[in-house]
A = this chain, B = another copy of it.
Amino acid sequence: MNFGFDDTTAELRARLLAFMDECVLPAERAYEEQTATSGWGPPPLLEDLKGEARKRGLWNLFLPGEEGAGLTNLQYAPLAEIMGRSPSIAASATNCAAPDTGNMELLAQFGSEWQRKEYLEPLLNGEIRSAFAMTEPDVASSDATNISTSIVRDGGEYVINGRKWFITGAMNPNCKVLIVMGKTDPEAPSHRQQSMVLVPRGTPGLTIKRGMKVFGYDDASHGGHAEVVFEDVRVPVDHLIGEEGGGFAIAQARLGPGRIHHCMRLIGAAERAVELMCRRALSRSTFGKTIAQQGVVQDWIAESRVRIEQLRLLVLKTAWLMDTVGNRGAHTEIQAIKIATPAAVEWILDKAIQVHGAGGLSQDFPLAGAWAGVRSLRFADGPDEVHKRSLAYRELKKYMD
């Protein structure tokens, strides 16, 4: 057992930290200002940052294998944490932003040759964006058997009908393709009913209807969270990813690494929140004491540190398990980090906000926005409650005859 970083990780951490200090953090204010007028998509300065990141060898770090940086999950995780300190900018600048990351992994693993050429390549180059269309407004889509979007084969085409929402990134005009989950065979066994198809932006019958808000945020710089309607949308059969009935399995494969990325970025956000909380507490006084001298605030700071240290280790161990025994062997841990991380980081952000007073709620600090993001992760990939039930069932099974 050993808790130190290996050399590759240590070197990349140093390089990424320098990029954060020299390029990302100084750009935050301008990013916010440009966002106000840049519509559904990233502000212009992002392109410069992308160029700079690429030049520094900080590109596609998330992707294992030859097409990416070739890091293990355990090596990438500490880098994702660093990006989490300024997640809107850093992940996009290094081409490590969801949902493209998951989509690239998926295409690298399951895409056909032309699919990889057509979509994976420009995604890897940061030229286009993509979306992943799974959640539906009319059903509890944490249960994949509930999915109501239909994908029906008709000759050489699939015909898609349905309604999706909270499709992150799809409001961005540069989001050129949606990966759509639907049912090709509602009569099949429950986990063989679903398939995934590529639907290019602009396909007739595809309507990007409106941006859903998360609390009051439209997240325009990330391409928003679209409601999308499919009315007799037709795509050639070669737009199927993998095989018919393989949608559920592909979705599962996509989850593990994404969970690591999300959780590590949240830990980075939590670290930044603790820093902001400490700085603010030291700089403001009430009733003759700094806020940092208030016992309750000290309690929050200590609790935050204690929780972060535990969470980080669990996420790192999960990454290690995925690398050594695979996603299936890390099932319990993958669920555990999904349950534990958003809840703890939400708590920490809440306390950092409280220390900032009303300002903490506003656009003047990155806390309220980060809070809304982490709150939404208590649903993403299924609500915590579904994961807890599943994890408990596995625990109970040890003692069933």
Residues of A within 8 A of B (CB): 1-6, 9, 74, 135, 137, 139-143, 146, 165-166, 212-218, 274-275, 278-279, 281-282, 284-287, 291-292, 294-299, 301-303, 305-307, 309-311, 313-314, 316-317, 320-321, 332-333, 336, 339-340, 354, 357-359, 361-364, 368-369, 371-372, 375-376, 378-379, 383-389, 391-393, 395-396, 398-400
Residues of B within 8 A of A361 (CB): 212-215, 372, 375-376, 379
Closest 3 CB pairs of A and B: A295-B295, A216-B216, A216-B217
Residues of B within 8 A of A166 (CB): 358, 362
Residues of B within 8 A of A310 (CB): 310-311, 313-314, 336, 340
Residue contact A339 to B306, C-beta cutoff 8 Å: yes
Question: 13 A-B residue contacts at CB 8 Å?
Answer: A142-B286, A146-B286, A214-B362, A214-B368, A215-B217, A215-B368, A296-B299, A296-B385, A306-B336, A309-B314, A354-B385, A361-B375, A361-B376
Residues of B within 8 A of A320 (CB): 1-3
CB distance from A94 to the nearest CB of B (A): 22
Residues of B within 8 A of A215 (CB): 215-217, 361, 368-369, 371-372
User: Which of B218, B309, B384, B388 meets A298, CB within 8 Å?
Assistant: B388
CB-nearest residue of chain B to A214: B361
A393-B311 Cα distance, complex, nearest whole Å: 21
The quantity of this chain's copies bound in the complex is 4
User: Which of B9, B142, B298, B392 meets A301, CB within 8 Å?
Assistant: B392
Given contacts A2-B1, A310-B313, A278 and B398 within 8 Å (CB-CB) = yes
User: Which of B295, B339, B375, B384 meets A389, CB within 8 Å?
Assistant: B295
Residue contact A336 to B309, C-beta cutoff 8 Å: yes
Residue contact A391 to B358, C-beta cutoff 8 Å: no
Residues of B within 8 A of A378 (CB): 354
Residue contact B309 to A391, C-beta cutoff 8 Å: no
Residues of B within 8 A of A217 (CB): 215-216
A203-B35 Cα distance, complex, nearest whole Å: 33
Residue contact B305 to A332, C-beta cutoff 8 Å: yes
Residue contact A362 to B278, C-beta cutoff 8 Å: no
Residues of B within 8 A of A363 (CB): 212-213
Residue contact A376 to B388, C-beta cutoff 8 Å: no
Given contacts A309-B314, A313-B314, A395-B278, A357 and B383 within 8 Å (CB-CB) = yes
A146-B314 Cα distance, complex, nearest whole Å: 39
Residue contact A302 to B396, C-beta cutoff 8 Å: no
Given contacts A215-B215, A299-B385, A400-B282, A317 and B3 within 8 Å (CB-CB) = yes
Residue contact A392 to B299, C-beta cutoff 8 Å: yes
Given contacts A217-B215, A278-B396, A372-B215, A291 and B4 within 8 Å (CB-CB) = no
Residues of B within 8 A of A362 (CB): 166, 212-214
Residues of B within 8 A of A368 (CB): 213-216
Residues of B within 8 A of A218 (CB): 216
A395-B215 Cα distance, complex, nearest whole Å: 28
